Amino acid sequence: MSEQHLRHLPSVDQMLRRAGLAELIRRAGRETAREGLREVLSELRRELRGVNGTAPAPDPERLADEAERRLRARLARRDQALTRRVVNATGVVLHTNLGRAPLSRAALAAITEVAADYCALEYDLGAGRRGQRGAGLEAVLRRMFNCEAAAVVNNCAAAVLLVLNTLAEGGEVIVSRGELIEIGGSFRIPEVIAKSGARLREVGTTNRTRLADYERAITAETRVILRAHPSNYRIVGFTERPAPADLARVAATHSLPLFEDLGSGCLIDLSAWGVGGEPTVGQALEAGASVVAFSGDKLLGGPQAGILLGRADLIGRVKSNPLMRALRADKLTFAALEATFGAYAGGRAAEELPALAALRATKAEITARARAFLRRARRVAGGLRFELIDGHSVVGGGSAPQAELPTTLISVTGARLGAAEIERRLRGQTPPVIARIVDERLVMDLRTVSREGEQELLAALGEIGSREGEQ
Ligand SMILES: *Cc1c(COP(=O)(O)O)cnc(C)c1O
């Protein structure tokens, strides 16, 4: 043991003040550097504890050098990762190509806790034997939504496939022609129905489907009535679609399950923030849907997952489907989902979940941030010109396509560099910055940029701007 030796180890703050690290800290961001230093120093602390007590005391300067070397290596590994963190300056809050919802601090802590160790994933701690995967979270969901049963799978597409395969294989699924949607990435309702082993029975027309259309289509072959949320598009004008409660009544009259694919899985009414037209999960259940499916990483603001809620008999059958094993979620998902639903249960969702906080930000708040950013950007990136312009952010993730969230965009122009070249160079920074080009101008929206991301954005612009200033 050599507790004495530990005194020679520098502190995180001493390391942060080290002159040789200034540039690295600026580029990586202070919080990231602090986090990295904490880990590097605790690694060194463990190693020193293992050293024989009679060994000579380590040289403090050598220890600091070693900590610096390890921090550099750690950050370099991170920069080269293929699934690399990026700064999302697009203003698209649930950007599917950029991993949709960023997780809350509580979700991150929950993931870290279970990732590096074992956890009670499928273990009944009371009985001391094998339990059911996710049983705890399912109980939370049943209470929260006042429903009979819940199940969690890998994503909403998996949830839809699984339900249709379980309830309708070999039979017919009735769907309105106005809901034969494609979500993107080849998820098309008709194809998913075909893959589930069921047959599609289309009713109504693209813009109008009435209750009577559904009623006429019901035969002995019918297994399920499916209602799919047209997530990423809207039919406006001369339209008609039965109210969910009316459709639920028709389904119940014929002893058929009504399955509602909600897609986004919005838990709270977001219309006050300008995100209207998204039915909440609670509303769908109250209207009488037998089973609802929704995503974990869209408007819910959590990890990628598919959540099923509804009748115990139906969800019980879904869970005993052999496909369940192929589509199940892992321990990290369960940990992060539990923390995400915890934010809703505690009434803290709008503050704690980054996606909701980004949606809620007002134009005035974003403008104030953009003004302050502009002053700093002009100092560090003299070769570029900055300007504030009015614009709109987008919800993304195939949710609320009509929602236009007013924002203030930062436009960036160069003396020599065109918009496409600035965009390309931003993508080449560490971390890469993803921006948009609107009307041949490069624009950035701070709605989707964290405070740490702002620092990185400044560093990236400084890098490009100083080159632009040269010649
Ligand atoms: C997004 C969406 C899906 C697919 O959800 P994933 O979680 O991405 O698999 C399915 N149905 C609807 C209506 C959607 O909007």
Q: Would the CB of 287 count as within 6 Å of ligand 1? A: no
Question: Which tokens hold the place of 223?
Answer: 């297994």
Does 172 share its domain with 273? yes
Q: Would the CB of 423 count as within 6 Å of ligand 1? A: no
| Number of domains observed in the structure of the chain | 3
pLDDT at residue number 317: 98
pLDDT above 50 for 1: no
Rounded Cα gap, residues 390 and 212, in angstroms: 47
Nearest CA to ligand 1 atom 11: 263
Does 181 share its domain with 312? yes
Query: pLDDT tens for residues 39-74?
Result: 999 999 888 887 776 777 788 899 999 999 999 988
> Percent of the chain, pLDDT > 70?
99
**If you count DSSP H runs as helices and E runs as strands, how many of each does the chain have, helices first?**
20, 18
pLDDT at residue number 263: 92
Query: pLDDT tens for residues 324-376?
Result: 999 999 999 999 999 999 999 999 999 999 999 999 999 999 999 999 999 99
Last residue of a domain, one of 80, 114, 141: 80
- Residue 272: which residues within 8 A CB-CB, separation 6 or more? none
Does 332 share its domain with 432? no
142: left (phi over 0), alpha (psi -120 to 50) or beta: alpha
Rounded Cα gap, residues 436 and 57, in angstroms: 55
Q: Given the CA of residue 264, which atom of ligand 1 is nearest to it? A: 15
- CB 3, CB 406: distance < 8 Å: no
Q: How far is the CA of 463 from the centre of ligand 1 (A)?
A: 39
Q: Report the length, in residues, of the chain.
A: 471
Q: Given the CA of residue 398, which atom of ligand 1 is nearest to it? A: 15
> CA 66, 71, 72, 73: dihedral to nearest 10 degrees?
90
Name beta bridge partners: 175. Answer: 202
Does 67 share its domain with 120? no
Q: Given the CA of residue 297, which atom of ligand 1 is nearest to it? A: 7
Q: Would the CB of 154 count as within 6 Å of ligand 1? A: no
Q: Would the CB of 155 count as within 6 Å of ligand 1? A: yes
Q: Probe ligand 1: pick from 183, 261, 294, 297, max atoms within 8 Å of CB?
A: 183
pTM: 0.87
pLDDT above 70 for 469: no
Does 285 share its domain with 191? yes
pLDDT above 50 for 147: yes
Q: How far is the CA of 160 from the centre of ligand 1 (A)?
A: 9
pLDDT above 60 for 470: no
pLDDT at residue number 202: 97
Does 132 share its domain with 266? yes
pLDDT above 90 for 77: no
Rounded Cα gap, residues 119 and 111, in angstroms: 11
Does 182 share its domain with 126? yes
Which CATH number belongs to the domain containing residue 378 in this structure? 3.90.1150.180
Range of weakest confidence among 199-203, 230-234, 324-328: 230-234
Q: Would the CB of 166 count as within 6 Å of ligand 1? A: no
Does 150 share its domain with 287? yes
Query: pLDDT tens for residues 272-318?
Result: 999 987 889 999 999 999 999 999 999 999 999 999 999 999 999 99
Nearest CA to ligand 1 atom 15: 263
Last residue of a domain, one of 352, 368, 390: 352
pLDDT above 50 for 117: yes
Enumerate the H helices of 50-123 as residue ranges.
60-80, 105-115
The residue segments making up the domain with residue 234 are: 105-352
pLDDT category at 404 given cuts 50, 70, 90 is confident
Rounded Cα gap, residues 376 and 374, in angstroms: 5
The phi, psi pair for 262, rounded to 5°, reads: -85, -20
Query: What is the mean pLDDT of the segment spanning 408-433?
Result: 95
Does 226 share its domain with 341? yes
Which CATH number belongs to the domain containing residue 218 in this structure? 3.40.640.10
pLDDT above 70 for 92: yes
Does 302 share its domain with 205? yes
Last residue of a domain, one of 322, 352, 382: 352
pLDDT above 90 for 236: no
Nearest CA to ligand 1 atom 14: 263
Nearest CA to ligand 1 atom 5: 156
- Residue 197: which residues within 8 A CB-CB, separation 6 or more? 165, 168, 169, 170
pLDDT at residue number 139: 97
pLDDT above 70 for 471: no
Does 128 share its domain with 270? yes
Does 376 share its domain with 346? no
Distances (CA, A) of 241 to 28, 174, 204, 225, 254: 52, 14, 9, 14, 19
